[in-house]
Structure 1
Amino acid sequence: MEQTACVVAGGGPAGMMLGLLLARAGVEVTVLEKHGDFLRDFRGDTVHASTIRLIDELGLGDEFRKLPQSRLNAAAFPLPNGGMLTLGDFASLKPPYNYIAMMPQWDFLNFLATEAAREPTFRLLMRHEATSLMFDDGRVTGVRYRTRGGSEEASTEGAIHADLVVATDGRHSVLRRSAGLQPKEYPVPFDTWWFKLPRHASEKGAVAGIVPAFRGREAMIALFRDDYYQMGYLGPKGTDARIRAEGVERFRERVAALRPDLADRVDAIRSLDDLHFLDVRLDRLRRWYVDGLLCIGDAAHAMSPAGGVGINLAIQDAVAAAARLAPGLLQGRVTVHDLAAVERRRRMPTVLLQTVQRVMHRAVFVPLFAGRRAGVPSVVLFLARRVPALTRLMPRLIAFGPRPEHAPGFARRAQRSAA
Structure 2
Amino acid sequence: MDKLSVDVCVIGGGPAGMTLGLEVARRGCDVAVLEQTGHFNRSFRGETISPDAVSLLARLGILESVTDAGALVNRKMKLTENGRTLLEVDFDDFPHRHRHPLDVPQPTLLAILAQEAGRHTGFALLRNTSAVGLLETDGAVAGVRSRSPAGEQEIRARLTVGADGRYSKMLEMSCLPYRRTPLERDVVWLKLPAPPDWTSDTYHIRIAGGRHGLFIPTYPDLMRVGFNIPKGGLQNLRRAGLTGLHTRLDELAPELADLVRDSIRNWSDTSVLDIFTSVVPRWSRPGLLLIGDAAHTLSPILGQGVSHALFDAMTLAPLLSEALAKGPDEVTMAAREFQRIREPSLRRSRSLQLRQERMFTFSDPVRVALRSTFYRSLNRSPWLKKRLLGSVFFQLQNR
TM-score for the superposition, normalised by structure 1: 0.88
RMSD between aligned alpha carbons? 2.3
CA–CA distance in 2 between the matches of 1:47 and 1:312?
6
**Deviation of 1:32 (Å):** 0.5
Cα 1:234–1:372 shift into 2, 3 Å? farther
CA–CA distance in 2 between the matches of 1:106 and 1:192?
22
Q: 2:356 corresponds to which residue? A: 360
Cα 1:258–1:14 shift into 2, 3 Å? same
CA–CA distance in 2 between the matches of 1:331 and 1:64?
35
**Deviation of 1:279 (Å):** 0.5
**Deviation of 1:327 (Å):** 1.2
Q: 1:298 corresponds to which residue? A: 293
Q: 2:134 corresponds to which residue? A: 133
Cα 1:255–1:210 shift into 2, 3 Å? same
Q: 2:375 aligns with which of 373, 381, 385?
A: 381
Q: 1:265 aligns with which of 259, 263, 287?
A: 259
The amino acid of 1:257's aligned partner reads E
Question: What pairs up with 1:33-44 in 2 under 5 angstroms?
Answer: 33-44=35-46
Deviates more, 1:66-75 or 1:373-382: 373-382
Decide whether the 8 Å contact of 1:26 with 1:330 is kept in 2.
Answer: no
Cα 1:371–1:36 shift into 2, 3 Å? farther
Q: 2:321 corresponds to which residue? A: 326
Q: 2:9 corresponds to which residue? A: 7
The amino acid of 1:399's aligned partner reads F
Q: 1:413 corresponds to which residue? A: none
Q: 1:211 corresponds to which residue? A: 204
Q: 1:412 corresponds to which residue? A: none
**Deviation of 1:373 (Å):** 5.4
Q: Deviations over 1:99-122 (max 9, x none)?
A: 001111111111111111111111
Q: 2:192 corresponds to which residue? A: 197
CA–CA distance in 2 between the matches of 1:33 and 1:262?
38
Deviates more, 1:74-83 or 1:276-285: 74-83
Q: Does 1:54 align with 2:74?
A: no
Cα 1:385–1:371 shift into 2, 3 Å? closer
Gaps of at least 5 residues in structure 1 are 150-154, 407-419
Deviates more, 1:349-358 or 1:258-267: 258-267
Q: Deviations over 1:64-113 (max 9, x none)?
A: 33121111112221145723412x43212235412001111111111111
**Deviation of 1:131 (Å):** 2.2
Q: Deviations over 1:230-282 (max 9, x none)?
A: 11121121211111222122212222332111111223212222221110111
Cα 1:228–1:37 shift into 2, 3 Å? same
**Deviation of 1:324 (Å):** 0.8
Decide whether the 8 Å contact of 1:14 with 1:168 is kept in 2.
Answer: yes
Deviates more, 1:9-18 or 1:377-386: 377-386
**Deviation of 1:386 (Å):** 6.4
**Deviation of 1:383 (Å):** 4.6
Decide whether the 8 Å contact of 1:78 with 1:376 is kept in 2.
Answer: no
Decide whether the 8 Å contact of 2:48 with 2:303 is kept in 1.
Answer: yes
CA–CA distance in 1 between the matches of 2:294 and 2:350?
15
Q: 2:100 corresponds to which residue? A: 99
The amino acid of 1:231's aligned partner reads V
Cα 1:294–1:371 shift into 2, 3 Å? farther
The amino acid of 1:43's aligned partner reads R
Decide whether the 8 Å contact of 2:293 with 2:309 is kept in 1.
Answer: yes
**Deviation of 1:173 (Å):** 0.9
Identical columns (%): 30
Q: 2:347 aligns with which of 347, 351, 358?
A: 351
Aligned residues: 394
Deviates more, 1:292-301 or 1:90-99: 90-99
For the residue of structure 2 that corresponds to 1:352, the secondary structure is helix
**Deviation of 1:34 (Å):** 0.6
CA–CA distance in 1 between the matches of 2:379 and 2:72?
29
Q: Deviations over 1:393-412 (max 9, x none)?
A: 234323233x5699xxxxxx
Deviates more, 1:277-286 or 1:50-59: 50-59
Q: 2:175 corresponds to which residue? A: 180
Question: What pairs up with 1:107-256 in 2 under 5 angstroms?
Answer: 107-147=108-148, 149=149, 156-199=151-194, 202-203=196-197, 206-207=200-201, 209-225=202-218, 226-256=220-250
Gaps of at least 5 residues in structure 2 are none
Cα 1:327–1:376 shift into 2, 3 Å? farther
CA–CA distance in 2 between the matches of 1:199 and 1:254?
19
Q: 1:339 corresponds to which residue? A: 335
CA–CA distance in 1 between the matches of 2:346 and 2:260?
38
**Deviation of 1:299 (Å):** 0.4
Decide whether the 8 Å contact of 1:196 with 1:229 is kept in 2.
Answer: yes
CA–CA distance in 2 between the matches of 1:318 and 1:176?
17
Q: 1:409 corresponds to which residue? A: none
Decide whether the 8 Å contact of 2:81 with 2:208 is kept in 1.
Answer: no
